[in-house]
């Protein structure tokens, strides 16, 4: 489903900025509240944010003042204020951002159900209420979804896409794609209280609250200790002041009611401050008053213990989310990085520490500090499997352990295992494909082919957050025609050699595989996808077409209709959908991806080589494919030279919408 027009209901703290974010991405949006003055406040907020953003670009001399004024006018022109539901008859996506009361939300959802077209998705920005209860107020529970922004919505990139009991996979996908379209970073999660970020962050912070009150520690010394140890971007008391004590208390109470007080302790002093009307930055006073702490306390304490309590508690909560299937490994860590500033995030941090070390620390903590530190089952299981984190090559994530001679810094690194090998794509930040990557991959392939003992090659990413984001657009925009053609030739030649060889190739797709990344995976014999993976051929959004076989292998895998759809819309699809249409062979939980890929490598690598080669050659090695690839190359070259391609790439780099001329 496509979003041509959106609406935001509730023009308060969140609503005004959400409308601005949508309008900035080129999508017209209605902004509704109950009174004209409130709508005007929301519009004003949108204007302030727009001016601040564009002003920043002018200051950095990225655009001129005139360009900024014109862009501001364009963005704000896309927002229409409303106090009735006028204009809602043709919206495709609505985000509700009214106050956090279920009866109010249900009333709004019932109204939206009656006033919007049947296909429209109704999303809620709720931080804590059940999506399913809002869905119950409508006749389209499958199209109701959580769409949780973080404050301030114009700056924070994370959006939690929350799946209610009846939310359909299509709705989750549309919401995810819409979040990406408005330049946000979506993660998917179940509708358990606190979702991902609030739950893990609050769990860790509540432990600090507990110690601070038990030992009467200085609030400022605690804040300083945690920020200096770099376990969080700022201390919990400072953060609470910024967010508003009432807001934080509300979330904390909700989490305590849901999960119990053992894991979610509430700071008693905070309760008293809220009762006294001291809500932090917004009222001038909270834990701090004008930067000074309002109470004294012990300044001498064990900093290591304090940071350990924070780190271990975050790990326990993250593991529980994983165990209960509420979010994937990647989404949990990505959420905590982007939404809470925890760098490294809890699961990656534990992998670095060593899962055996973390488990032992939790066992001690459970005895010393309480049952809330009881080691989660999933951690015990991983340790029992010998998956101890970075040092053994696998923990929650997989880690490269390249052969000697592969220096850090090479874009593709080889790891030889027993009977098979792994080619690790390792080109920060996005594993984007360049001439260097392709020639290193070709060298590795030659080596693999020449080794008798290696019968299968796994293609994997050393970056836990993405597989491969596609061709290097910046470099692409600068290379001359001859070099570009050479890159195409080399890539195609490599993929064809892989397809006709007796060595089996397996793509272990952990996350985003877009454009060239998706085409590289399609050039492999088997594709195993992690739940967090997504696939897409977004070239068309740049005014170009797929160049590494996307117009040829995609239809062969998924049929012409779906291939045309994917190539023409440029929209991504989830791992589940990729499995349904035949683009991938299996979907597995994130943390099982590498075990699954290795099992396939052992199985297929053990098959008779002549038969493997013959089957591969006759299945994918047809002359039609070669012809098709030649046709794609010609078309790619032609399109790449067009004005539209230049405009598409320029607009992409400038983060603005392109204007097509058909020339």
Pairing of strands 586-588, 292-293: unpaired
Residue 81 C-beta: closest distance to ligand NAD, Å: 12
- DSSP string for residues in 484-553: HHHHHHHHHHHHHHHHTSSSEEEEEE-SEEETHHHHHHHTSSEEEEETT-EEE-GGGGGT----SSTTTH
**How many whole angstroms separate alpha carbon 661 and alpha carbon 648?**
11
**How many whole angstroms separate alpha carbon 17 and alpha carbon 19?**
5
Would you tell me the crossing angle of helices 643-653 and 623-640 to the nearest 10 degrees?
Answer: 80
Pairing of strands 456-461, 504-509: parallel
* Strands, E assignment, 2-142: 6-9, 29-32, 79-82, 93-96, 121-124
Residue 346 C-beta: closest distance to ligand NAD, Å: 21
Nearer to ligand NAD, 14 or 319 (CB): 14
Nearer to ligand NAD, 123 or 520 (CB): 123
Q: From the candidates 148, 254, 267, 492, which is the catalytic residue?
A: 148
Pairing of strands 573-574, 534-536: antiparallel
Beta bridge pairs of residue 190: 163
Residue 251 C-beta: closest distance to ligand NAD, Å: 9
3-state secondary structure of 5: coil
Residue 279 C-beta: closest distance to ligand NAD, Å: 12
Nearest residue relative to ligand NAD (C-beta): 12
Nearer to ligand NAD, 159 or 518 (CB): 159
**How many whole angstroms separate alpha carbon 457 and alpha carbon 423?**
7
**Residue 111, Cβ density class (10 Å: 0-12 exposed, 13-18 middle, ≥19 buried):** middle
Nearer to ligand NAD, 281 or 564 (CB): 281
Nearer to ligand NAD, 87 or 589 (CB): 87
Nearer to ligand NAD, 99 or 409 (CB): 99
Residue 206 C-beta: closest distance to ligand NAD, Å: 19
Q: Within 10 A of 630 (CB to CB), how many other CB atoms are there?
A: 12
534-536, strands of its sheet edge to edge: 466-468, 512-514, 534-536, 573-574
Q: Which residues bind ligand NAD (CB under 6 A)?
A: 9-15, 32-34, 38, 97-100, 104, 108, 125-127, 149, 151, 247
148 is catalytic: yes
Closest CA to 290 of 240, 249, 248, 238: 238
**How many whole angstroms separate alpha carbon 141 and alpha carbon 159?**
21
Nearer to ligand NAD, 150 or 467 (CB): 150
Nearer to ligand NAD, 13 or 51 (CB): 13
Residue 237 C-beta: closest distance to ligand NAD, Å: 18
Nearer to ligand NAD, 30 or 448 (CB): 30
Residue 562 C-beta: closest distance to ligand NAD, Å: 36
Contact 430, 461 (CB under 8 A): no
3-state secondary structure of 459: strand
3-state secondary structure of 661: coil
Nearer to ligand NAD, 150 or 399 (CB): 150
Q: How far from 516 is each of 341, 548, 645, CA to CA, in Å?
A: 30, 6, 17
- DSSP string for residues in 253-273: HHHHHHH-TTT----HHHHHH
**How many whole angstroms separate alpha carbon 415 and alpha carbon 311?**
32
Residue by residue, what is the 3-state secondary structure of 628-641? HHHHHHHHHHHHHC
**How many whole angstroms separate alpha carbon 471 and alpha carbon 10?**
41
Residue 280 C-beta: closest distance to ligand NAD, Å: 12
Nearer to ligand NAD, 129 or 414 (CB): 129
Residue 399 C-beta: closest distance to ligand NAD, Å: 34
Residue 129 C-beta: closest distance to ligand NAD, Å: 7
Nearer to ligand NAD, 127 or 176 (CB): 127
Q: How far from 458 is each of 5, 524, 579, 607, CA to CA, in Å?
A: 43, 9, 19, 16
Residue 463 C-beta: closest distance to ligand NAD, Å: 29
Q: Within 10 A of 610 (CB to CB), how many other CB atoms are there?
A: 9
**How many whole angstroms separate alpha carbon 129 and alpha carbon 125?**
9
Pair of tokens at residue 329? 């490994």
Q: Say which residue the tokens 């998705």 belong to.
A: 121
Residue 314 C-beta: closest distance to ligand NAD, Å: 20
Supply the residues annotated as catalytic: 148
């Amino acid at each position: 489903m496509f979003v041509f027009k959106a609406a935001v209901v509730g023009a308060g703290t969140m609503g005004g900025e959400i409308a601005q974010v949508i309008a900035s991405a080129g999508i017209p949006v209605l902004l509704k509240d109950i009174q004209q003055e409130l709508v005007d406040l929301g519009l004003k907020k949108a204007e302030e944010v727009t001016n601040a953003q564009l002003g920043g670009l002018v200051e950095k001399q990225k655009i001129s003042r005139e360009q900024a004024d014109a862009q501001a006018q364009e963005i704000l022109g896309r927002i229409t204020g409303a106090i009735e539901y006028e204009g809602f008859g043709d919206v495709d996506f609505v985000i509700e951002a009214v106050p956090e009361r279920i009866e109010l939300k249900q009333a709004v959802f019932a109204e939206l159900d009656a006033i919007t077209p049947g296909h429209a998705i109704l999303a809620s920005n709720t931080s804590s209420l059940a999506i399913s209860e809002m869905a119950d107020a409508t006749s389209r529970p499958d199209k109701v979804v959580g769409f949780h922004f973080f404050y301030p919505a114009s700056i924070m990139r994370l959006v939690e896409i929350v799946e209610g009991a009846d939310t359909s996979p299509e709705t989750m996908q549309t919401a995810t794609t819409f979040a990406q379209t408005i330049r946000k970073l979506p993660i998917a999660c179940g509708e358990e209280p606190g979702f991902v970020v609030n739950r893990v962050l609050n769990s860790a912070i509540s432990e600090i609250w507990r110690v601070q009150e038990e030992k009467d520690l200085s609030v400022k010394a605690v804040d300083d200790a945690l920020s200096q140890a770099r376990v969080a971007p700022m201390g919990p008391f400072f953060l609470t002041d910024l967010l508003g004590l009432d807001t934080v208390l509300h979330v904390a109470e909700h989490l305590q009611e849901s999960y119990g007080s053992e894991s979610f302790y509430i700071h008693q002093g905070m309760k008293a401050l809220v009762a006294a009307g001291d809500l932090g930055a917004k009222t001038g006073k909270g834990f701090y008053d004008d930067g000074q702490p309002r109470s004294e306390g012990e300044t001498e304490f064990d900093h290591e213990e304090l940071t350990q309590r924070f780190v271990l508690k975050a790990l326990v909560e993250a593991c529980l989310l994983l165990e209960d299937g509420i979010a994937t490994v990647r989404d949990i860590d990505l959420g905590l990085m982007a939404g809470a500033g925890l760098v490294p995030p809890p699961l990656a941090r534990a992998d670095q520490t060593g899962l055996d070390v973390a488990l032992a620390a939790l066992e001690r903590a459970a005895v010393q500090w309480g049952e809330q530190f009881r080691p989660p089952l999933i951690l015990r299981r991983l340790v029992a499997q010998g998956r101890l984190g970075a040092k053994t090559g696998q923990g929650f994530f997989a880690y490269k352990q390249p052969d000697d001679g592969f220096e850090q810094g090479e874009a593709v690194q080889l790891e030889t295992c027993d009977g098979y090998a792994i080619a690790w794509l390792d080109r920060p930040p996005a594993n984007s494909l360049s001439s260097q990557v392709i020639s290193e991959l070709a060298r590795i392939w030659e080596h693999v082919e020449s080794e008798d003992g290696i019968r299968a090659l796994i293609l994997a990413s050393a970056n836990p957050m993405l597989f491969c984001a596609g061709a290097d657009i910046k470099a692409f925009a600068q290379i001359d025609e001859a070099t570009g053609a050479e890159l195409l030739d080399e890539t195609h030649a490599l993929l064809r050699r892989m397809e006709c060889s007796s060595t089996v190739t397996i793509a272990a797709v952990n996350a985003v595989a877009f454009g060239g990344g998706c085409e590289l995976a399609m050039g492999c014999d088997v594709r195993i996808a992690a739940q967090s993976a997504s696939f897409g051929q977004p070239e068309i959004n740049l005014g170009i077409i797929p160049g590494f076989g996307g117009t040829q292998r995609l239809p062969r895998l998924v049929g012409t209709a779906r291939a045309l759809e994917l190539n023409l819309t440029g929209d991504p699809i989830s791992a589940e959908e990729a499995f349904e249409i035949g683009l991938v062979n299996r979907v597995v939980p994130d943390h099982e991806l590498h075990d699954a890929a290795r099992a396939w490598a052992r199985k297929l690598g053990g098959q008779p080589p002549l038969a493997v080669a013959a089957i591969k050659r006759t299945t994918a090695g047809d002359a039609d494919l070669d012809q098709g690839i030649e046709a794609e190359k010609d078309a790619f070259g032609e399109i790449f030279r067009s004005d539209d391609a230049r405009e598409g790439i320029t607009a992409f780099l400038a983060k603005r919408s392109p204007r097509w001329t058909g020339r």
